Structure formats: C-alpha cells, structure tokens
Amino acid sequence: MTKAMLAESQDEEQIIARVAALDIGKAEPVCCVRVPAKGNPKKRLQEVSTHSTMTRSLAELANWWTCVSSGW
C-alpha cells in the first residue's frame, strides 16, 4: 500500500464574492449560499436549506437553487 503525499502549492489569494455548496447525503441534501449583504459588501448573507430525497422535495430544491442563482 502506498501513502498519498500532499503537495504544497503557491496559490494566490482570491476572494470570491458569491459561493454555493451542496452536500448530498443518503437521506437529505443540504444547500448553502453566501452572498454579499446589500449596502455592506464586507458582510455576508447566508441561507441554508435542507431537503429530503423525495422527488417533490428535489424539484423544490432545483427551483430554490434557480431562484437564488438568478440574482447573481
């Protein structure tokens, strides 16, 4: 068995204003969106939503994701 070695990198710092994440689990996907606050770009607004893996809930998740990302 060989061990994986982590390599050091020289990445330049980059600030990303809007981010989204999707954690897909067996029972429920969890979504998180962070965007700059209106009027104060140094602050962030965050919304987290949890959905079941049933078809209707996944359709609601797709709709939510579309509505959130359309503001970008």
pLDDT tens by residue, 7-54: 777 777 777 888 889 998 888 999 888 888 888 878 889 989 898 989
The two tokens of residue 51 are 């959905």
Q: Which of 62, 66, 30, 25 is nearest to 47 (CA)?
A: 30
pLDDT at residue number 19: 87
Q: Which of 2, 41, 49 is nearest to 22 (CA)?
A: 49
pTM of the model: 0.64
Taking only the tens place, the pLDDT of each residue in 42-71 is 888 998 989 898 999 989 988 888 887 776
pLDDT at residue number 55: 92
Q: Under a CB-based contact definition with an 8 Å cutoff, are residues 31 and 61 in contact?
A: yes
